[in-house]
Chain A
Amino acid sequence: MAYIQGRRDFLKIATSSATATIFLPGSLGALGEVALKSEDKFIRSICEMCSSRCPMEARVVNGKTVLLQGNAFSKEMGTSLCAKGVAGSSQLYDTQRLVTPLIRVGKRGENKWAEASWEEALSLVSTKLSALKERYGAKSVLFSSKTGEHYDLLRSFASAFGSPNIFSHWSSCPIAIESAFHHTFGEKLHRDFENATYILNFGHNLFEGLDIPLTKAMAQFSANVSKKLVVFDPRFSIMASKANEWYPMKAGSDLAFVLSLLHVWIRDGKYDKKFIENYTIGFDKLADSVKEKTPQWQQSLTGIDAKVVERIADEVYQAAPRCIIDWGHKATTTKAEYQRSRAILMANILMGNVEKEGGIYFAKSAERVNALAKEIVVPELNNPYPRPHVNEPRIDGAGEVGKYRFVSKQHGALTAIPDAILSQKPYPIKGWFLTRHNPLVTLANPQKIKEAMDELEFIVVNDIYLSDTAMMADVILPESTYLERDEGISKSAFKSPFYTMRNCIVEPLHQNKSAIEMMRDLAQRMGFGTHYAWKNISELRAYQAKGNVELLQTLLMRGVASFDVPPLLALHAPSVERFCERYPKSRSWVDAQGLFSHFLEHLKTPSGKIEIYCEEVEHAFSGYGVTGAVDMDVTQGYPYVLTSGKSAVHTNGHTQNVPYLHMLLSDNPIWMHPSTAKAHGLKMGDTFYLQNAIAKERATVFITEGIRPDTLFAYMGFGHDAPSLKRTHGKGMNPSKLLSLESATLCGAMITNVGVNIIKA
Chain B
Amino acid sequence: MEKQYRLLYDENLCIGCQACSVACRVENSVPDDCYRVQVHMQTIGIFPHLGMNYERLSCVMCENPPCVSVCPTHASFQSKDGLVHIDERACITCKYCILACPYHARFVNPIKNVVEKCTFCYETRVSKELNPACVSICPTEALSFGDMHQSNAFVAQKSQKEVLLFPKAHLRTKPKVAFIPNRKGMKS
Q: Could you list which residues of chain A lie within 8 angstroms of chain B, going by C-beta atoms?
A: 25-28, 61-62, 65-70, 78-83, 85-87, 89-90, 207-208, 210, 212, 215-216, 219-220, 222-223, 225, 236, 238, 240-244, 246, 248, 648-649, 659-661, 663-664, 673, 704-709
Contacts and interface: CB of A to CB of B under 8 A. Distances in A.
A61 B27 contact: yes
Interface string B1-40: 0000000001011011111011101110111110000000
B33 A241 contact: no
Given A87-B22, A705-B50, A210 B184 contact: no
A378 B158 CA distance: 39
Interface string B124-152: 11000000010011111110000000000
B109 to A, nearest CB: 11
A79 B136 contact: yes
Q: Which of B18, B48, B136: most chain A CB closer than 10 A? A: B18
Nearest to A248: B48
B171 interface: no
A663 B17 contact: no
20 contacts: A25-B29, A61-B125, A80-B19, A81-B19, A83-B18, A86-B19, A86-B23, A208-B17, A212-B139, A215-B139, A219-B13, A223-B12, A238-B16, A241-B185, A248-B47, A649-B17, A664-B21, A673-B47, A705-B43, A706-B47
Given A25-B31, A80-B139, A220-B13, A62 B22 contact: no
Given A216-B141, A649-B17, A706-B50, A69 B136 contact: yes
Closest 8 CB pairs of A and B: A219-B140, A241-B52, A648-B17, A207-B15, A223-B12, A86-B22, A79-B136, A83-B22
Contacts of A207: 15-17
Given A67-B26, A236-B50, A663-B33, A82 B136 contact: no
Given A70-B137, A89-B26, A660-B26, 16 more contacts: A27-B26, A61-B125, A65-B26, A69-B137, A80-B138, A81-B137, A85-B19, A210-B17, A220-B140, A236-B52, A238-B16, A241-B50, A648-B17, A659-B32, A664-B21, A707-B47
A648 B15 contact: yes
B169 interface: no
Contact of B133 (A67, A241, A673): A67
B45 A663 contact: no
B102 interface: no
B148 to A, nearest CB: 22
Nearest to A72: B136
Contacts of A66: 26
Chain B interface, DSSP helix/strand/loop, else mixed = loop
B51 interface: yes
Contacts of A660: 22, 25-26
Contact of A708 (B32, B41, B47): B47
A472 B159 CA distance: 57
Q: Which of A208, A223, A238, A246: most chain B CB closer than 10 A? A: A223
Given A65-B27, A236-B43, A242 B139 contact: no
B183 interface: yes
Contacts of A663: 32-33
A661 B46 CA distance: 30
B184 A243 contact: yes
Interface in B91-135: 124-125, 133
A90 B18 CA distance: 15
Contacts of B19: 80-83, 85-86
Contacts, number: 147
Nearest to B182: A241
A685 to B, nearest CB: 17
A704 B43 contact: yes
Contacts of A27: 26, 29
A86 B124 contact: no
A244 B47 contact: no
Nearest to B50: A236
Given A648-B18, A649-B18, A705-B45, A86 B26 contact: yes
A219 B142 contact: yes
A68 B19 CA distance: 11
B139 A210 contact: yes
B71 to A, nearest CB: 26
B18 A62 contact: no
A223 B144 CA distance: 15
A240 B45 CA distance: 14
B17 A26 contact: no
A290 to B, nearest CB: 27
Contacts of A61: 27, 124-125
Given A67-B26, A241-B52, A649-B18, A216 B47 contact: no
A354 B139 CA distance: 28
Given A236-B43, A238-B15, A705-B43, A246 B139 contact: no
A234 to B, nearest CB: 10
A330 to B, nearest CB: 18
Contacts of B185: 241, 243, 246
B37 to A, nearest CB: 12
Contact of B17 (A70, A82, A246): A82
A576 to B, nearest CB: 31
A480 to B, nearest CB: 20
A212 B47 CA distance: 30
A246 B50 contact: yes
Contact of A216 (B52, B124, B136, B140): B140
B15 A67 contact: no
B50 A242 contact: no
Contact of A244 (B31, B46, B136, B184): B184
Contacts of A89: 26
A208 B139 CA distance: 12
Contacts of A240: 50
B47 A223 contact: no
A81 B141 CA distance: 10
A246 B51 CA distance: 10
Contact of B26 (A26, A216, A219, A648): A26
